[in-house]
Amino acid sequence: MRAERSTIVFNIIGYIVITIFTVLCALPFWLIISGSLSAENDIIRDGFKLIPQNFSIDAYKSVFQNPEQIFTAYRVTILLTLGGTALGLFLTSMAGYVLSRKDFKYRDSLAFFIYFTTLFSGGLIPWYILIVNYLDWKDNFLALLIPGLMSAWNIILMKNFMKSIPESITESAKIDGAGEFTIYLKLILPLATPGLATIGLFLGLSYWNDWFAANMFITTESKYPLQFLLYKILASAAVLKTDIAGNLGPDFKPPAETLKMAVAIIVTGPIVFLYPFVQRYFVKGLTIGAVKG
Amino acid sequence: MKNRLFKLLTLCITTALLTTMLAACAGGNSGGSGKQSTGGSTPVTDNKPDTSKKVELNWYLVGDAHKDTPEVIKEWNKLLEKDLNTTVKLNFTTWNEWQTKYNLLLTSGEKVDMIFASSWADFFKFAKQGAFLDLTELLPVYAPETFKDVPEHDWKDVTINDKIYAIPSTHPEYTPDGIVYREDWRREINAPEIKDLDSIEKYMELVKSVKNVTPIKGSAWNEVNTLFRNYNDFKNIGGDSGVIVAKSYDTPRDVIAYPFTTEFEEWVKRMKTWADKGFWPSNTLSIKQESGDFIKTNTGAVYWRNTPGAAGFIADIDKNYKGIEMGYFPFSRFHNYVVPNLGINNGMAIPKNAANPERSLMVLEKLRNDKAYYELMTYGLEGHNYVVDENGALVSPAPGKDPAKVTAYGIASWGWRTDKNDRPSADRWKGEDALIEEYKPIARPDIFSPILMDYQPVKAQLAAVNQVYQQFGQPLMMGLVPDVDKAIENYRSRLKAAGVDAVLEYVQKEVNTYADARGLK
């Protein structure tokens, strides 16, 4: 079958535009990669280049100089991400399902309560006091895990998604004698895979990228998650520009420009590879939500 | 519909009420527990405090832990457990937003037994707000040696309303500003010895014309601003006070806004010629890179550093960049005096919610006065992180260790530093010793830092003035304006409009109060 002339033209234009956008998106990332592989002196002298003048892997060497530390941090982050995402999905989907059931009498008022909390927040200090003084979670993994488990936004998203599952499915299962939990586990969850994937990705990303909670609550180096460990390496540079610099010993070295870039690559690496695997569900989830809303 | 709206409203109000009630309860609770914890003191028998109860103390330092810190603390706790039946959990804030975290530690009522304190970490503000425990009564009982050891004038620095709120380090420090410069280049291009402003100018001119190198290639603001302040002897009041300064050290009550002086006029005219000669790049105010980095790659020559900072920088150059020779010119030579840092430039304090303040003080007493404790905590593991050479100086890491794996131990140990136990580093920059000898006889006490101002009554004006300072003052100072006279006039009128007079008046009032209390002229 021959395509029409206009289709071909459209395709050509489409490819060109998409290529330009792709290049625009990829260029900064490429600069980071090339920067991380450059020699430090080249960057100080001439700034960043698209192709490294003198190829060097010193930056990666110095990040992995102390590999145990990085691997411990990787382990912390991966466990937190897996555990947090699984537990978070379970809780969020249960909440979303219950709120979507029409025979649950107080669903509107409850949904309102949940929604209400998105309008304002207590702020940093009450949050800190709650976690440190009342829950006693300072320097405890719970402080990293629990607060991120459920968010009002995810629950609402889940509830709306669950609404699109026909109620007759629940009814038919009931007639066949299934209990509420079986219905949820055996019927609703499989049907909700696109929604679960979407929210799972949100949760996974937020656990993977979270450094702030660790910044506030974790004080033992072996408990640092990856993002915070690497951010910490960068933060020491800023201190050199303040009055404190006079106190620091001559062995205190600021991280080099190339090191910053290498750090960025190491942190983004694994999560970038996750995208292609979940993208399938992700796209489907978005469209299903949109059509049936 | 109307009914539902009403219901909703009631709900909101109830929630709000409930929240306030809960908050009030919580406030009362934390206050109560705070009092209780400080009340329970260890009974003293025969002048020897009772240590029969095993205690774990919660200590906080700013900055990062060292790779070997867990190992060091383990050893340290072995000693402590034997002597005082105590262990310490040492926590670090890291440098990520450390000020926010430091603030939270002190305001949230967390149970912290000892924390690093310093004038640059807002010691005076926190002490006035009552964040620290009053140590006046405890010190002679639980830390008698330290109490005798710390000189009278250092105790005075941490005494607020007759109460002692911290234990300052005993290590006089001189941190005058100055510049490091390429000494080998100076000889190569036949520049005069650097001893005043003219010779600095000549040096940079020759670096530019002969070596064809931009002398201050990174951000040049610090270099020019500190040079200006020190050259004219304008003193900051109570930390960085922006455009409001004391006219000179000898006339502390003479508070002025320096942009209105003739000194300023002359200065910016001179800086205009410097900028035109290309002493720094024209985008210098937006460059984030430190000028020192360019010295290492032979593309820069001058870098601002205070004296300890210069010593660190030069030691690093000597070690890692062979063939570069650096010189140092401290700005203190303009007026021939230095102001040592306050005693509380570094120190340790006990937050008011500490669970075991008495035991914590006893540990600090040990740390400061027992050499074994001091060296372990400050320099790490002997034979691993360091050894002591025949002159009593530190060699790090210990010979035979791989320098890539074992590094010199370093944490924020500044708070308990004492001269009697302190050891210099063997590969330090030897020039620093000579400088300290130079400073000692010409030291004069710091009378400007302890003036504590919160600018509350003139907050709006101060914000506006700072805005003008950044937008118009900094480019003017860096000689980056086309017409200097017009720019000065514009800057002054904008400062006036922003309310600089009100700020000046406020600072003057605070300075007068302080000067009266201190009995200054």
Q: A246 contacts in B (CB within 8 Å)?
A: 173, 175, 306-309
| 8 Å CB contact of B95 and A251 | no
Give the tokens for residue A248: 């620091």
Interface mutation target, options A133, A138, A210, A232, chain B, most CBs of B under 10 Å: A133
The position carrying tokens 């806004």 is: B257
Do residues B74 and B161 both lie within one domain? yes
Contact call for residues A89 and A196 (beta carbons, < 8 A): yes
Cα distance between residue B347 and residue B415, in whole Å: 4
Residue A260's pLDDT is what? Answer: 80
When pLDDT is averaged across residues A96-113 and rounded to a whole number, the result is 90
Task: Give domain status of residue B366, yes or no.
Answer: yes
How many angstroms separate the Cα of B339 from the Cα of each of A1, B230, B335, B446, B472? 89, 12, 11, 6, 31
Q: Scanning every residue of chain A, which has its alpha carbon at the shortest distance from the alpha carbon of B118? A: A244
d(CA B440, CA B429): 18
The answer to whether position B448 is within a domain reads: no
Run of H or E residues at B115: strand B114-117
CA distance A195 to B13: 35
User: Which SS3 state, helix, strand or coil, does residue B90 take?
Assistant: strand
Considering only CB atoms, which chain B residues are within 8 Å of A241?
Answer: 290
pLDDT at A284: 60
H/E stretch holding B89 reads strand B86-92
Residue B365 or A2, more confident: B365
DSSP B233-267: T-B-SSS--TTEEEEETTEEEEEEEGGGSHHHHHH
pLDDT for the residue numbered B486: 94
Cβ within 8 Å of residue B157, ≥6 positions away: B168, B342, B343, B344, B450
**Residues B225, B234 contacting (CB under 8 angstroms):** no
B66 and B118 housed in the same domain: yes
Mutate to test the interface with B, among A70, A247, A263 (most CBs of B within 10 A): A247
Last residue of a domain, one of B371, B387, B414: B371
Angle between helices A5-36 and A257-292 (to 10 degrees): 150
Enter the DSSP assignment of B282.
T
Tell me the percentage of chain A whose pLDDT exceeds 90: 30
Q: Which of A125, A222, A232 sits opposite B108 (nearest CB)?
A: A125
- Which pLDDT belongs to residue B394? 87
For chain A positions 102-131, those within 8 Å of chain B (CB to CB) are 112, 116, 124-125, 128-129
Residue B30 lies in a domain: yes
**pLDDT above 60: residue A210:** yes
Look at residue B507 and tell me if it is in a domain. no
The C-alpha atoms of residue B289 and residue B150 are separated, in whole angstroms, by: 40
Instruction: Give the burial string for B8-28 (b: 16+ CB within 10 Å, else e).
Output: eeeeeeeeeeeeeeeeeeeee
CB contact under 8 A, B396 and A236: no
* Structure confidence at residue B44 (pLDDT): 47
A3-19 CB burial, b ≥16 within 10 A, e <16: eeeeeeeeeeeeeeeee
Give the closest residue to B152 by CA, choosing from B168, B141, B165. Answer: B168
One-letter amino acid at A94 equals M
Residues B59 and B165 in one domain: yes
Work out how many CB contacts closer than 8 A connect A with B: 105
Cα separation, A269 vs B317, in Å, equals 35
Instruction: Count up the domains in chain B and report the number.
Output: 2
Asked if residues A152 and A158 have their Cβ atoms less than 8 Å apart, the reply is: no
Do the Cβ atoms of B277 and B201 come closer than 8 Å? no
Residues of chain A with Cβ-Cβ distance to B386 below 8 Å are none
Q: Which residues contact B292 (CB under 8 A, 6 or more apart)?
A: B180, B218, B300, B303, B305, B313
With cut-offs at 50, 70 and 90, classify the pLDDT of residue A54.
confident
Pairing mode, strands B244-248 and B251-257: antiparallel
pLDDT in tens, A153-181: 999 999 998 888 888 888 899 999 989 99
Distances, alpha carbon A6 to alpha carbons A3, A9, A18, A19, B70, in Å:
8, 5, 18, 20, 70
CATH number, domain with residue B94: 3.40.190.10
User: Does any CB of chain B come closer than 8 Å to the CB of residue A241?
Assistant: yes
Task: Report chain A residues whose CB lies below 8 A from the CB of B104.
Answer: 124-125, 128, 216
pLDDT in the model for residue B391: 85
Nearest alpha-carbon partner for A205 in A141, A288, A278: A278
CB-CB contact of A39 with A58 (8 Å): yes
**Closest Cα to residue A93, out of A197, A206, A167?**
A197
In a domain, B72, yes or no: yes
> Rounded to the nearest 5 degrees, what angle is found at the Cα of A259, between the Cα atoms of B397 and A220?
60
Q: Of the candidates B194, B338, B220, which has an alpha carbon nearest to the alpha carbon of residue B274?
A: B220
The predicted structure's pLDDT at residue A290: 45
What average pLDDT does the structure give for chain A?
83
What span, in angstroms and rounded, lies between the C-alpha atoms of B37 and B45? 21
Q: Verify that B75 and B19 share a domain, yes or no.
A: no
User: Does any CB of chain A come closer than 8 Å to the CB of residue B318?
Assistant: no
B406 at A interface, C-beta within 8 A: no
Q: Give domain status of residue B319, yes or no.
A: no
Cα separation, A254 vs A216, whole angstroms: 23
The answer to whether A239 contacts chain B (CB < 8 Å) is yes
What tokens were used for B244?
């409001």
Residue B149 sits in which domain range? Answer: 54-171+343-371
State whether A247 and B306 contact (CB < 8 Å): no
In terms of Cβ atoms closer than 10 Å to its own Cβ (0-12, 13-18, 19+), residue B516 is: exposed
What pLDDT score does A254 carry?
A: 57
Looking at residue A276, what is its pLDDT?
A: 75
- For A286, residues 6+ apart whose C-beta sits below 8 A from its C-beta are A198
B3 three-class SS? helix
Task: State the angle between helix axes of A193-209 and A257-292 in degrees (0 to 180), rounded to the nearest 10.
Answer: 160
Q: Beta-carbon neighbour count of residue B452 at 10 Å?
A: 17
Cα–Cα distance for residue pair B429/B435, rounded to 1 Å: 11
Dihedral-angle region of residue A248 (phi above 0 means left; psi in -120 to 50 means alpha; beta otherwise): beta
In a domain, B499, yes or no: no
Chain B residues in contact with A248 (beta carbon < 8 A): 312, 410
Q: Along the 521 residues of chain B, how does pLDDT read in single tens digits? A: 445 555 555 554 555 544 444 444 433 333 333 333 333 444 444 556 778 889 999 999 998 888 889 999 999 999 999 999 999 999 998 888 888 899 999 988 889 999 999 988 889 889 988 999 999 999 999 999 999 999 888 898 888 888 999 999 998 888 899 999 999 999 999 999 999 999 999 999 999 999 999 999 988 998 999 999 999 999 988 777 789 999 999 988 999 999 999 999 999 999 999 999 999 998 888 887 778 888 988 889 999 988 888 888 898 888 888 889 999 999 999 999 998 888 888 999 999 999 999 999 999 999 999 999 999 999 999 999 999 988 888 888 888 888 777 888 888 888 999 988 988 888 788 888 899 899 989 988 888 887 878 788 898 999 999 999 999 999 999 999 999 999 999 999 999 999 999 999 999 999 998 888 877 77
CA distances from B11 to A109, A121, A245, B17 (A): 10, 18, 54, 10
Q: Is residue B128 part of a domain?
A: yes
Rounded to whole angstroms, what are the CA distances from A266 to A201, A230, B470? Answer: 20, 9, 37
B86 and B15 in a single domain? The answer is: no
Residues of B in contact with A45 (CB under 8 A): 297, 299
**Nearest CA-CA distance, residue B45 and chain A, Å:** 33
Task: Say if residue B59 is in the same domain as residue B117.
Answer: yes
* B246 and B252 Cβ atoms separated by less than 8 Å: yes
3-state SS, B129-176, equals CCCECCCCCHHHHHCHHHHHHCCHHHHHHCEECCEECCEECECCCECC
Measured in angstroms, the CA of B104 and the nearest CA of chain A are apart by: 7
B104/B60 same-domain check: yes
B12 and B75 fall within a common domain: no
Residues B58 and B1 in one domain: no
Q: Which tokens hold the place of A38?
A: 């450059």
ipTM, two decimals, is 0.74
- How many beta carbons lie within 10 A of that of residue B4, not counting itself? 9
State the DSSP H helix or E strand holding residue B92, giving kind and residue range, or none if neither: strand B86-92
Q: Distance between CA B295 and CA B291 in Å, rounded?
A: 7
- Same domain? For B13 and B76 the reply is no
A28 to chain B, any CB pair closer than 8 A? The answer is no
Selecting from B70, B92, B296 the residue whose C-beta is nearest the C-beta of A219 gives B92
The candidate with the shortest Cα–Cα distance to B517, out of B156, B211, B64, B55, is B156
A144 with A218: CB under 8 angstroms?
A: yes
Backbone angles phi, psi at B406, to 5 degrees: -110, 125
CB pair distance less than 8 Å for A247 and B67: no
Residue B183 has phi, psi (to 5 degrees) of -70, -40
- B/e letters for B185-208, b = 16+ CB within 10 Å, e = fewer, are bbeebebeebeeeeebebbbbbbb
Using CB atoms within 10 Å of the CB of residue B445, give its burial: 0 to 12 exposed, 13 to 18 middle, 19+ buried: exposed
CA distance B343 to B159: 11
pLDDT of A287 over the 60 cut:
no
As a whole number of angstroms, the distance between CA B497 and CA B490 comes to 11
